[in-house]
C-alpha cells in the first residue's frame, strides 16, 4: 500500500498521560499536514511541514502539542498531559503539487484518540 | 471570519435516486473549492477541485458546481449507490493548499 499510513489506528489513554502518533506520508510528497477532527465536525488544521521545516501552526496547537518531521520523511505528533478534550481523530495528510499549481492532499486513515 | 457552511446536515435517500448537497462559504481570498468523501472512521478522499474560473467539474457520478460570485457550490450525485453512504465535506482554500473544512453532510443511501 503506497498511501498515507498512520499508527496506531486507535489509542486509549488516561488523562495526564503522554501519547505519540506517527504518520508515514506518500514517499515523494514533500508537504505533510496534521488535522484534528471531532465527532460531527470537519477536520481542523493543526500544523504542516514542508520537508523537515514546520511552516505553520494553528492556534489550536497548544504548548502540550508538538510535531516533528525529522529528515523530512515520517512525522510524529505528541500530546503531553492529555485532557479529555483531546479526544478526537487525528488525521495526517501529505500533498503533491498538481499541474495547476494546487496541492492535492491525500489523507491517512487517522488515529482515534480516547482520553478517559 | 473564514467559514464554510453545508446543508443539509444529513440526508437519507433510496438507492438509485439523485441528490444535491449545498455549500456556502465566506473564505477570502478564494483560491479553490474541493469536495471530499469521508467514510466512517476513514480519512477524507478528494472528489473534485475547482478554481474560481471553473463552474462545473465531474468525477463519475459526482458533479460539482461553483458560483464564485454568490460563493456557493453544490455536489450532485446521480443514481446513488449504497457505497455512496458517507460524509461529504466541502473544503475551501484561501491559498494554494491551506484548507478550511465544512462540517459535512452525512448521506445515507438505503436499498
The strand pair at A111-115 and A10-13 is best described as parallel
Give the minimum alpha-carbon distance from A18 to chain B in angstroms, rounded to a whole number: 23
> Cβ–Cβ of B101/A103 closer than 8 Å?
no
> Would you put residue B84 in left (φ > 0), alpha (ψ -120 to 50) or beta?
alpha
What single DSSP character describes residue A71?
G
Rounded percentage of chain B residues whose pLDDT exceeds 70 = 98
Q: Which residues of B touch A107 (CB under 8 A)?
A: 43-45
Q: Which residues of A touch B98 (CB under 8 A)?
A: 45, 56
What single DSSP character describes residue A4?
-
Q: Which three cell numbers stand for residue A1?
A: 500500500
pLDDT in tens, A72-113: 899 999 999 999 999 999 999 999 877 777 788 999 999 999
Size of interface A-B (CB pairs under 8 A): 57
What does chain A come to in residues? 116
Closest residue in B to A95 (Cα–Cα): B97
> Would you put residue A4 in left (φ > 0), alpha (ψ -120 to 50) or beta?
beta
Identify the top-confidence range among A38-47, A107-116, B89-98: A107-116
Query: Which residues, 6 or more positions from B104, have their beta carbon under 8 angstroms from its beta carbon?
Result: A40, A41, A42, B6, B38, B87, B88, B89, B90
CA atoms of A3 and A25, how far apart (whole Å): 7
The strand pair at B56-59 and B45-51 is best described as unpaired
Residue with cell 466541502: B90
B37-66 average pLDDT score: 93
pLDDT in tens, B56-96: 999 999 999 999 999 999 999 999 999 999 999 999 988 75
Check CB contact of A61 with chain B, cutoff 8 Å: no
> Cβ–Cβ of B49/A40 closer than 8 Å?
no
* SS3 at position B38: strand
Q: Which three cell numbers stand for residue B98?
A: 491551506
Q: Which member of B46, B89, B100 has the closest CB to residue A104?
A: B46
Nearest to A91 by CA among A70, A74, A106: A106
Amino acid at each position: 500500500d503506497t498511501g498515507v499510513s498512520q499508527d496506531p489506528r486507535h489509542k486509549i489513554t488516561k488523562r495526564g498521560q503522554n501519547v505519540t502518533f506517527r504518520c508515514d506520508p506518500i514517499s515523494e510528497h514533500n508537504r505533510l499536514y496534521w488535522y484534528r477532527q471531532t465527532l460531527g465536525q470537519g477536520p481542523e488544521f493543526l500544523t504542516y511541514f514542508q520537508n523537515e521545516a514546520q511552516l505553520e501552526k494553528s492556534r489550536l496547537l497548544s504548548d502540550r502539542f508538538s510535531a516533528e518531521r525529522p529528515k523530512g520523511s515520517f512525522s510524529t505528533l505528541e500530546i503531553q498531559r492529555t485532557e479529555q478534550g483531546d479526544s478526537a481523530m487525528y488525521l495526517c495528510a501529505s500533498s503533491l503539487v498538481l499541474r495547476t499549481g494546487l496541492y492535492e492532499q491525500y489523507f491517512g486513515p487517522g488515529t482515534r484518540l480516547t482520553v478517559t | 471570519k473564514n467559514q464554510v457552511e453545508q446543508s443539509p446536515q444529513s440526508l437519507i435517500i433510496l438507492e438509485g435516486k439523485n441528490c444535491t448537497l449545498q455549500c456556502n462559504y465566506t473564505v477570502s481570498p478564494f483560491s479553490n473549492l474541493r469536495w471530499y468523501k469521508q467514510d466512517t472512521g476513514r480519512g477524507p478522499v478528494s472528489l473534485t477541485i475547482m478554481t474560481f474560473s471553473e463552474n462545473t467539474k465531474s468525477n463519475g457520478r459526482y458533479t460539482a458546481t461553483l458560483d464564485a460570485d454568490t460563493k456557493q457550490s453544490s455536489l450532485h450525485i446521480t443514481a446513488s449507490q449504497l457505497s455512496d453512504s458517507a460524509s461529504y465535506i466541502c473544503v475551501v482554500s484561501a491559498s494554494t493548499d491551506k484548507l478550511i473544512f465544512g462540517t459535512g453532510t452525512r448521506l445515507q443511501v438505503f436499498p
